[in-house]
Structure 1
Amino acid sequence: MEDGYGVITRHKIEGGSQLAFYGVYDGHGGRAAVDFVADKLGKNVVAAAAAATTMSRHQAAGSSSPSQQRREEEDDVTAAIRAAYLTTDSEFLSQGVRGGACAATALVKDGELYVSNVGDCRAVLGSRGGVATALTSDHTPGREDERLRIESTGGYVSCGGSGVWRVQDSLAVSRAFGDAGVKQWVTCEPETARVSLTADGDCRFLVLASDGLWCKVSNQEAVDAVAAAAAAGGGSGVHVAGSTDPCKELVAMARSRGSRDDITVMVVDLQPFLPV
């Protein structure tokens, strides 16, 4: 088992704001990378986001309109997440240990949802209307922009008889933590999407999972299964009395369809984060 996960909730920062962090990680080449990332990334993201928020508020005080301050703070948080990913990657590489890890993470702050990823872990948003929206895009060597990025720096991608695209004939993801041997091409630069969680909005829950789920279950099927499990429990939210039934349902679905990869699923109920 080379998957991992991490949760940090109700982390208070200056000004009364609170941060919540959720992450799912998929290791390869051993557990060293996934264990390190599961322990460090959330802490680094929360610390960097808190520091960025405090700094931006001090700098903007009295010099910008409230809406301009808000936009600048959101940009600073996105930049902080990027810095935390790169810092975590650098910290792991400095240990000289082999292996790597993919990640999909979510940071919730002041009614804003920041979803980031490297590799093929994925985050999918479930709406009140039941529509599934992928907030991440898998980083694979077969993705055209990823292939062009790799080739522009002297690397190459190839597709073997199994139909799997690989970097330098070895790695099946194009972004990840670790993987020192191909680090020149396999960056840990995350892509981040931001979604506003408004009281009258359509955001209901978020599904974070490793590719052991997504190789057999579509985005829409995952959202449908979570909504059905919640409805069966008789609740209006996602988790009924703290139940993990939606997660178990998705793991069972992937297994029944032949997934033999490690599978980790996390469902985040977004209702508590909506403004009153």
Structure 2
Amino acid sequence: MVSTTILRFVSSCWRPVVDGESIKRVGDASTGRVDGLLWYKDFGRHVNGEFSMAVIQANNLLEDQSQLESGPLSSVESGPRGTFVGVYDGHGGPEAARFVNERLFENIKKFTSEGRGMSSDVITKAFLTTDEEFLGLVKSQWLNKPQIASVGACCLVGVVCSGLLYIANAGDSRVVLGRIEKTTKQQEEVKAVQLSSEHNASMESVREELRQLHPDDPQIVVPKHNVWRVKGIIQVSSE
């Protein structure tokens, strides 16, 4: 299956509480470091707060990628500033996730510069353009490297800009917000708030969508080992 980053969900869904409605603009955090099978960025201040990131390698070959960018979200000096977080779950090989890691944020900066700033449309256009670019790479390399035609990547993206959080996901992943809420005067607890839904053949709505898109293929989604899979092979319905 060739990787396609078809955007299914983009939303400016949450306005974070900022003391005095002001945001301190500070420098980027240090570059990531490697410690055994763990890649991480230490907890540090960014344009829109404090962030840290870590990746644990589960396979011999790390197929996943992630990035944390903070500062200008445009290629022009007068463009908006903010924080970009991307998590790319690769499978079948690392090529697709690495490609998205290199191109998606650059495309977001490009389209932010061409338009009037950050928006859902900018993120949608960046997803689709990155998809087209990777398909072009597959077409140019598949004769000499046919394995690249079976590589894929799921994508999660969060952009904090001008007091808004934009989220986008494509594939078998979801965005979850952890929010601190007071339960009593003395106690607090962290509650998980789901902000997006994964695109997975285990969901009835996804299976029905696939059947409608492929009415002439009775095997477009079938159960295998008690799990619904696209063509009996993979659970991800878009990537």
> TM class, shorter-chain normalised?
0.5 to 0.7
d(CA) in 2 for partners of 1:12 and 1:35?
20
- In structure 2, list runs of 5 or more residues that go unmatched: 1-61, 139-147, 182-189
Per the alignment, residue 200 of structure 2 pairs with: 140
Structure 1 residue 150 displacement after superposition: 1.2
Amino acid at match of 2:154: C
RMSD: 1.8
* Matched-pair contact (CA < 8 Å) for 1:6–1:42: no
Structure scoring higher RCO (CA < 8 A, sep ≥ 6) equals 2
Higher strand share: 2
- 2:131 aligned to which of 89, 92, 98: 89
> Which of 77, 87, 111 is the aligned partner of 2:163?
111
Asked if residue 78 in structure 1 is aligned to residue 120 in structure 2, the reply is yes
Contact 1:5 1:25 in 2 (8 A): yes
CA separation in 2, counterparts of 1:151 and 1:28? 24
Partner secondary structure for residue 136 of structure 1: coil
Other-structure match for 2:99: 36
What is the CA distance between 1:50 and its match in structure 2?
A: 3.9
Instruction: Give 5+ residue unaligned stretches, structure 1.
Output: 55-73, 177-276
Match of 1:48 among 111, 129, 143: 111
Cα offset, 1:122, TM superposition: 2.4
Letter in 2 for 1:143: M
**Is 2:84 the partner of 1:21?**
yes
Query: What is the aligned partner in structure 1 of residue 5 from structure 2?
Result: none
User: What is the CA distance between 1:145 and its match in structure 2?
Assistant: 2.4
CA contact (8 A) 1:119 1:138 kept: yes
How far apart are 1:144 and its partner, in Å?
2.3
**Counterpart selection for 1:6 from 59, 63, 67:** 67
> Are 1:123 and 1:136, in contact at CA under 8 Å, matched by a contact in 2?
yes
Runs of 4+ deviating beyond 3 Å = 12-16
| 1: CA distance, partners of 2:152 / 2:73 | 31
* Distance of 2:208 and 2:133 partners within structure 1: 28
SS at match of 1:140: coil
Kept in 2: contact 1:106–1:113 (CA 8 A): yes
Deviation at 1:106, TM superposition (A): 0.3
Tell me which amino acid in the other structure corresponds to 1:104.
L
How far 1:12 sits from its partner (Å)? 5.3
Instruction: Summarize the alignment of residues 206-245 of structure 1 with structure 2, pairs less than 5 Å apart.
Output: none
- Match of 1:91, as an amino acid? E
Q: Secondary structure at the match of 1:175?
A: coil
Q: 2:172 aligns with which of 115, 120, 131?
A: 120
The equivalent of 1:149 in structure 2 is 209
Question: Residue 48 and residue 151 in structure 1: after superposition, are their counterparts in 2 closer, same or farther (change >3 A)?
Answer: same
Give the number of aligned pairs: 154
Kindly state the Cα deviation for residue 136 of structure 1 after the two structures are TM-superposed: 1.5
Identity between Structure 1 and Structure 2 (%): 35
Equivalence for 2:233? 170
- SS at 1:2's partner residue? coil
Q: Taking structure 1 as reference, are residues 149 and 117 closer, same or farther at Cα in structure 2, changes over 3 Å only?
A: same
* Alignment correspondent of 2:222: 158
Change (3 A) 1:149 1:49: farther
Supply the distance in 1 between the matched residues of 2:111 and 2:233 (Cα, whole angstroms): 33
Q: Secondary structure at the match of 1:158?
A: strand
Q: CA deviation at 1:15?
A: 4.9
Distance 1:150 1:120 in 2: 15
Which whole-Å deviations, capped at 9, do the CAs of 1:128-170 have from their partners, x for residues lacking one?
2122101121110122222122111215211211x33211122
Could you say if the C-alpha distance between residues 45 and 144 of structure 1 is closer, same or farther in structure 2, counting changes exceeding 3 Å? farther
